[in-house]
């Protein structure tokens, strides 16, 4: 508990008022603003471009915005206060994750996994983001915890109540991130293996479906990116597997890609060995158990891990490290269990354990010491950015559509509708789509800055002079009033 309090105090004390460009966070805050002000939930000012669905969906699930709304009502657009909401969700998740993992894997392995997860440099950096990762981890771990602890043979009212609670927690997870649907097959398979009564199934599915229906009727339909709605083929699956192998390397970054590959392969091998030693032989039928009993040997968190990874492999979304945060504690506890068993077979396990712990400690210090600071041009809240937002607010009509590489950021911080192109447009299509989007202004950036690669190569100084008149310029941005607004 002392470690958790110290972690929370240090993390909260080091929250900053800056935020990087990835503008998912801006859309979440815009949804929260709409909840507070009574504006329709989806009217954020972000104009969805079906040619560029990777920018973000028209609307996000309401889980995080509902958590942010009270803070926005009290403090307005206070980035530190909004970050604190997500960080407190993360703090609350840690002891719950420990409880979820301790029962099937033991306290030592669970504590090791949660500690390594919380102290990882990339996870520690997560506190500086307003994002759905921490709330999703909180509710998904709560779902796993409650579903694992309720009595499988409870009947009548108790079974109904337990099913309703699990359904509500599963909905809260999906309301934070749509990939929370991976909880459903894991929960249903575990319930079947543990012989839960039909009343539990009915209550679970009915409560979940009812809450989804209420969300759809009152706020927004369950969120999908338009390009997710594809039939997965082998090429997509192999591409996702390759992509997630690449992005998983941030878990064990090394000076060279080859060393990272070796370290990641070793981590996966140890985790698989740990899974086999904890429950694998029984689940494989080596003890002569029937199928249902063998499935029951596998802990619910592992079924969730498998369902989640399957969803990532099948989804037509760009692989990214943020999708791996929710399952990293489970992967770490499997690795910890595997290492623990290997150490127990060595002649001096304590000596080897101390050496391994010392190596990990030094490695973690290296990760934190080598983490680079954000440059100004990587921040949506830099000084040049604030100058540009102030100009947009003061010198453009309120209904002006702004074409910008970060449309949700301009909608929140510039208070004008934002739209983004597809970088693959040629020059003629770019001009035509600007007109179709009814864009009044185009904001470009200086060469060499963080956002510059998001602009087509032909959007140079000559092209910008041809399509409009420069009305604002500073060291980073150029605001162009467009001539053709058909």
Q: According to the model, what pLDDT value does residue 476 have?
A: 94
92 contacts 84 by C-beta, under 8 angstroms = no
Distance CA(408)–CA(46), nearest Å, equals: 5
pLDDT in tens, 442-480: 999 999 999 999 999 898 888 888 889 999 999 899 999
d(CA 421, CA 52): 7
In a domain, 453, yes or no: no
| Tens-place pLDDT, residues 425-446 | 998 899 999 999 999 999 999 9
pLDDT tops 90 at residue 140: yes
DSSP reduced 3-state for 439:
strand
Structure tokens at 184: 């459903």
- pLDDT, residue 229, reads 46
Q: Which domain holds residue 331?
A: 2-17+78-370
Q: Answer yes or no: is pLDDT of 141 > 90.
A: yes
Q: Which two tokens stand for residue 261?
A: 């590959």
For residue 83, being part of any structural domain is answered with yes
399 is a domain residue: no
Enter the tokens of residue 236. 């997509």
How far is the C-alpha of 123 from the C-alpha of 11, rounded, in Å?
Answer: 11
Residue 117's pLDDT is 94
Which pLDDT score, from 0 to 100, does residue 283 have?
Answer: 59
pTM over 0.85: yes
Q: Does 335 reside within a domain?
A: yes
Residue 324 domain-assigned? yes
Which DSSP state fits 120? S
Q: Is residue 32 part of a domain?
A: no
**Residue 152's pLDDT is what?**
60
The mean pLDDT of the chain is 87
Q: What is the pLDDT of residues 185-235, one digit of tens each?
A: 999 999 998 888 888 899 999 999 999 988 888 777 665 544 444 556 677
- Residue 62 inside a domain? The answer is no
- Look at residue 137 and tell me whether its pLDDT is greater than 70: yes
Of 86, 67, 59, 75, give the one whose Cα is nearest residue 225: 59
Percentage of the chain modeled with pLDDT above 90? 55
pLDDT of residue 153: 64
427 token code pair: 């020059």
Q: What is the pLDDT of residue 28?
A: 96
Query: Within a 10 A sphere around the Cβ of 212, how many other Cβ atoms?
Result: 17
How far from 116 is each of 52, 119, 287, 345, 453, CA to CA, in Å?
37, 5, 34, 23, 35
- The pLDDT of residue 69 is above 90: yes
pLDDT in tens, 230-256: 556 677 778 777 877 777 777 777 766
pLDDT digits (tens, 9 = 90+) for 14-51: 999 999 998 899 999 999 999 999 999 989 999 999 88
Query: Above 80 in pLDDT, residue 74?
Result: yes
Number of domains in the chain: 1
Is 139 among the domain residues?
yes
Using the predicted structure, report yes or no on whether residue 319 has a pLDDT greater than 90: no
Q: What is the pLDDT of residues 402-411, one digit of tens each?
A: 999 999 999 9
Other residues' Cβ atoms within 10 Å of the Cβ of residue 194: 18
Cα separation, 442 vs 409, in Å, equals 14
Burial of residue 454 (number of CB atoms within 10 Å: 0-12, 13-18, 19+): middle
Interval 127-138 mean pLDDT: 94
* Helix 300-314 vs helix 328-344: crossing angle, to nearest 10: 130
Q: Give the least confident one: 64-68, 332-336, 350-354, 380-384.
A: 350-354
pLDDT of residue 261: 76
Evaluated on CA atoms 379, 383, 388, 389, the torsion sign reads positive
pLDDT of residue 226: 47
């Amino acid at each position: 508990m002392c470690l958790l309090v110290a972690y929370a105090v240090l993390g909260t004390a080091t929250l900053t008022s800056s935020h990087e460009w990835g503008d998912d966070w801006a859309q979440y805050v815009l949804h929260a603003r709409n909840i507070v002000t009574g504006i329709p939930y989806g009217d954020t000012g972000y104009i969805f471009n079906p040619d560029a669905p990777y920018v973000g969906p028209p609307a996000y699930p309401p889980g995080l915005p509902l958590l942010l709304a009270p803070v926005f009502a009290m403090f307005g657009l206070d980035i530190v206060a909004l970050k604190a909401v997500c960080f407190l969700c993360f703090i609350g998740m840690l002891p719950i994750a420990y409880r979820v993992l301790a029962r099937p894997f033991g306290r030592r392995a669970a504590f090791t996994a949660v500690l390594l997860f919380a102290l990882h440099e990339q996870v520690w950096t997560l506190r500086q983001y307003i994002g759905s990762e921490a709330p999703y981890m909180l509710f998904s771990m709560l779902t796993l915890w409650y579903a694992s602890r309720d009595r499988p043979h409870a009947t009548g009212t108790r079974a109904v109540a337990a099913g309703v609670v699990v359904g509500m927690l599963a909905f809260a997870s999906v309301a934070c991130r749509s990939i929370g649907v991976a909880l459903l097959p894991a929960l249903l398979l575990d319930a079947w293996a543990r012989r839960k009564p039909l009343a539990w199934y009915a209550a679970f599915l009915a409560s979940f479906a009812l809450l989804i229906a209420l969300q759809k009727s009152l706020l927004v339909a369950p969120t999908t990116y338009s390009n997710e709605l594809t039939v997965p083929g082998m090429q997509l699956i192999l591409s996702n597997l390759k992509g997630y192998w690449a992005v998983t390397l941030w878990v064990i970054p090394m000076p060279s890609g080859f060393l990272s590959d070796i370290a990641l392969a070793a981590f996966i091998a140890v985790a698989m060995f740990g899974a086999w030693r904890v429950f694998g032989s029984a689940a494989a039928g080596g003890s002569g158990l029937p199928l249902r009993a063998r499935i029951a040997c596998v802990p619910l968190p592992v079924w969730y891990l498998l369902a989640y990874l399957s969803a990532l492999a099948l989804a037509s979304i760009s692989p990214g490290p943020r999708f791996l945060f929710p399952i990293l504690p489970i992967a770490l506890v499997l690795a910890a269990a595997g290492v623990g068993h290997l150490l127990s077979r060595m002649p001096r396990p304590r000596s080897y354990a101390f050496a391994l712990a010392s190596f990990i400690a030094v490695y973690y210090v290296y990760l934190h010491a080598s983490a680079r600071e954000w440059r100004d041009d990587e921040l949506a809240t830099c000084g040049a950015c604030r100058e540009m937002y102030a100009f947009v607010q003061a010198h453009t009509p309120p209904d002006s559509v702004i074409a910008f590489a970060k449309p949700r950021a301009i909608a929140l911080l510039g208070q004008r509708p934002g739209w983004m192109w597809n970088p693959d447009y040629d020059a003629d299509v770019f001009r035509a789509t600007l007109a179709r989007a009814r864009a009044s202004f185009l904001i470009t950036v200086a060469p060499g800055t963080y956002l510059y690669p998001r602009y087509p190569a032909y959007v140079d100084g000559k092209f910008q002079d041809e399509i409009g008149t420069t009305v604002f310029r500073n060291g980073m941005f150029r605001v162009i009033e467009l001539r053709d607004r058909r």
